Amino acid sequence: MGKDKEPPDLLPGTLDLLILQALVRGSMHGYGIAERLRALSDDVLQVGESSLYPALQRLLLQGWVKAEWGASDNNRRARYYTLTAAGRKRLASEREEFDRLILAIHKVLET
């Protein structure tokens, strides 16, 4: 899984949105989040560590997720991230914003 294809550039802030969405179903560690995003998007969205972990720290800073150390399925220590209430609110508002944006872009492209 090297970098054989240029991953698409995400709009800034979109990564935060994706991570928050990925955590809706439950807590996950960083690797799990990256894998989930990759799986859900059919290998299109491949988030590297250099963007994932800074983004996770940002979300931590803003209080939209919280982090806890726990045991992974093979009993290694891993840090699990959970969505907070504020995070859910943020997810909803970001989602709305994103939809509006996409709609606008669509409209322009349809002409």
Partner 1 sequence: MAIAVWLRRLQHAIRLPQVDRDIREEMEFHRFMKQRAFESGGLPPVAATRRAARAMGNVLLAREQARSVWIWPWLESVWQDMGYAGRILRRHSGSALLAIILLAVTIGLNTSLMTVLNGLMLRPWPGVGHGGDVVAIYLDDSRSDSSGAFHDVRGFTRTHWRSLADQVTQLTPLAAFHRDGVQLGDGGTLGPAGAMLVSGNFFDTLQLELSKGRGFHDDDDRIEAPQYVVVLSDRLWRARFAADEAIIGHSIVINGQRFVVIGVTAPAFGFSEPGTATDVFLPLASAQLLWEGDRAAGSFELVGRLTPGATRGRVRAELTVLSQQFDLRQGRTPSAVVVTGTAFADHPGRTPMLFASALISAGLLAVWIVACANVGNLLLAQATARRREIGIRLAIGASRARVVRQLLTEGLIIGLAASVLGLAIAYTLPLAILRFIAEDATARFPFIVTPDWLVVASAVLMAAFSAMLFGLAPALHVTSNDLARQLGRGDAVAVSTVPLRSVLLAAQVAVSVVLLIVAGLLVSGAQQQTRSLEADFATDVSVASFAARSGAYDAARMRSWTTDLTAALPELPLSEFALASQEPFSRLRNGISVHRPGGSEAVGDRRFASLWEISPGFFGLLRIPLVAGRDLDATDADQAVAVVNETMARRFWPNEDPIGKSIVLFRSAPFVVIGVVRDAHLSASSTVEPTVFTPFAAVRQLPEATFPKLLFRSERPVADAIKRAGSRLDPELQIRVAALTAVVKGNFLSGPGYYGRILAQALGGFALALATVGMFGVFAYAVRQRTSEIGVRMALGARGSAIVRLILLRHSRVVLAGLIAGVCAAVTVSIVLRSSLPGLGRFDPVVYVGVGLLVASAGLAASYVPARRATRIDPVVALRWE
Question: Where do contacts with partner 1 occur on this chain (CB under 8 A)?
Answer: 1-2, 29-31, 34, 48-50, 53-54, 56-58, 60-63, 67, 72, 74, 76-79
Residue 8 or 102 with smaller CB distance to partner 1: 8
Rounded distance between C-alpha atoms, residue 86 and residue 34, angstroms: 22
In sequence order, the 6+-apart residues with CB closer than 8 A to the CB of 38 are: 45, 46, 47
Residue 21 or 58 with smaller CB distance to partner 1: 58
In sequence order, the 6+-apart residues with CB closer than 8 A to the CB of 31 are: 78
Chain-centroid distance, C-alpha 89:
15
Minimum CB separation of residue 4 from partner 1 in Å reads 12
Minimum CB separation of residue 30 from partner 1 in Å reads 6
Minimum CB separation of residue 21 from partner 1 in Å reads 20
Q: Single out the residue of 14, 28, 12, 15 nearest to residue 83, CA to CA.
A: 28
Residue 53 or 105 with smaller CB distance to partner 1: 53
